[in-house]
Amino acid sequence: MLTVSSLTGRDLLRIADLSSAEAEAVLDLAVELREQPKQPLLAGATLGLYFAKHSTRTRVSFSAGMAQLGGAAIALAPEELQLSRGESLPDTARALSGYLDALAVRTHAHAELAAWAEWASIPVINALTAEEHPCQALADALTIRDRLGSLDGVRVAWVGDGTNVLVSLAALGELLGYEVVAACPPGYEAPGVQSVRDPRDVVDGADVVVTDTWISMGDEHERVKRLIDLEPYRVDDALLALASPDAFVMHCLPAHPGEEITADVLYGKRSAIWDEAENRLHVQKALLVLLLRS
Ligand code: CP
Ligand code: NVA
């Protein structure tokens, strides 16, 4: 068990906030906590969950994770806070810092997350913004390492929309030694991520194939256009046949069978998606321990 952490007291807003050694420490501790899930490492600690967008996995895995570590989590629905009646974000963040040990924030604009981090004196964790989803990327890297034994030189093919999840997954690859190449339609590329047009070009020989919803939270008004533009980017058995024979598929969920992925692939024997979802719990517990213990 790691007792001295360079992450203590820090924020995790983007993958770039981590060093390679810190990212590896999160994965290593996640494996230890997966083996011994109920250890009172955060007894008495409280995590706030400020979620301005829907969530199933992130909210529940953070809540269950805190309970397993002997701490507690409090859901902070924006509409129930005085914030929604005009109290400022800085005043809310200052007051919450007096009660909580850490705050996980899911919101639209990354700048709003940065404001929470600026005004709160406790660690702030990005639980998803339109720009990044670092907790998801940590779970994804653990899932790949679990299956392949190492991340070094692993070829990850991303197919479809260049979402927040892709940005974090590719940034983490630069820290941990796997390579992400994306196939996205014009206009759907992710900033800073190498991309091509044809999904077959990235899946050919890939070790891992990853996709995400075609309609992320906040993109609902573009639904019709997105379904048309992304139609050639569905992950199906024919596309997967081009990948390495042992290749597996990941998806952060929620999935939309028949849109970005077929039901056969989602529920098939090459799907690592359900292990990936569980790994959210283990990496976030590790992250909380490293951020909160001195
Ligand atoms: N993958 C993910 O973040 O799921 P939720 O939106 O359900 O939290
Ligand atoms: N790209 C998706 C991920 C959901 C977990 C979104 O932002 O809605």
Could you report the average pLDDT of every consecutive run of 10 residues in the chain (294 residues)?
A: 78 98 98 98 98 98 98 97 98 98 98 98 98 99 98 98 98 98 98 97 98 98 98 98 97 98 98 98 98 93
Residue nearest atom 8 in ligand 2 by C-alpha distance: 216
Q: How far apart are CA 202 and CA 179, in angstroms?
A: 11
For 17-55, letters b (16+ CB in 10 Å) and e give bbeeebbbbbbebbebbbeeeeeebbeebbbbbbbbbeb
Note whether residue 64 is domain-resident: yes
CB 120 within 8 A of CB 99: no
Note whether residue 9 is domain-resident: no
What integer pLDDT is reported at residue 294 of this predicted model?
A: 84
Q: What is the CATH number of the domain that holds 230?
A: 3.40.50.1370
Q: What is the DSSP letter of 261?
A: B
Note whether residue 5 is domain-resident: no
Counted residue by residue, the chain has a size of 294
118 and 207 together in one domain:
no
* H helical segments located in 54-121: 57-68, 89-97, 110-119
Q: Which of 11, 57, 68, 133 is catalytic?
A: 133
Question: Which amino acid, residue 263?
Answer: A
Number of domains present in the structure of the chain: 2
Cα-to-chain-centroid distance, residue 229: 25
Question: Which amino acid, residue 209?
Answer: V
Question: Which amino acid, residue 278?
Answer: E
**For residue 212, which ligand has an atom nearest its CA?**
2
Q: Which of 14, 106, 226, 282 is catalytic?
A: 106
What integer pLDDT is reported at residue 5 of this predicted model?
A: 84
What integer pLDDT is reported at residue 57 of this predicted model?
A: 98
179 and 70 together in one domain:
no
For a pocket test of ligand 2, which of 108, 213, 220 has the largest count of ligand atoms closer than 8 A to its C-beta? 213
What integer pLDDT is reported at residue 275 of this predicted model?
A: 98
CB 190 within 8 A of CB 181: no
Note whether residue 4 is domain-resident: no
Q: How far is the CA of 152 from the centre of ligand 2 (A)?
A: 27
233 and 284 together in one domain:
no
**For residue 140, which ligand has an atom nearest its CA?**
1
Q: How far apart are CA 189 and CA 172, in angstroms?
A: 17
208 and 269 together in one domain:
yes
Residue nearest atom 7 in ligand 2 by C-alpha distance: 216
Structure tokens at 228: 């048309």
Q: Which of 11, 161, 207, 212 is catalytic?
A: 212
Q: Which of 68, 101, 184, 252 is catalytic?
A: 252
Q: How far apart are CA 152 and CA 10, in angstroms?
A: 27
CA distances from 231 to 111, 113, 139, 225, 227 (A): 32, 32, 27, 10, 6
204 and 269 together in one domain:
yes
5: Cβ below 6 Å to ligand 2? no
Note whether residue 10 is domain-resident: no
- Residue 84: give the domain boundaries: 15-132+278-292
From its phi and psi, is residue 258 left (phi > 0), alpha (psi between -120 and 50) or beta?
A: left
138 and 272 together in one domain:
yes
173 and 91 together in one domain:
no
Q: How far is the CA of 164 from the centre of ligand 2 (A)?
A: 7
For a pocket test of ligand 1, which of 106, 107, 128 has the largest count of ligand atoms closer than 8 A to its C-beta? 128
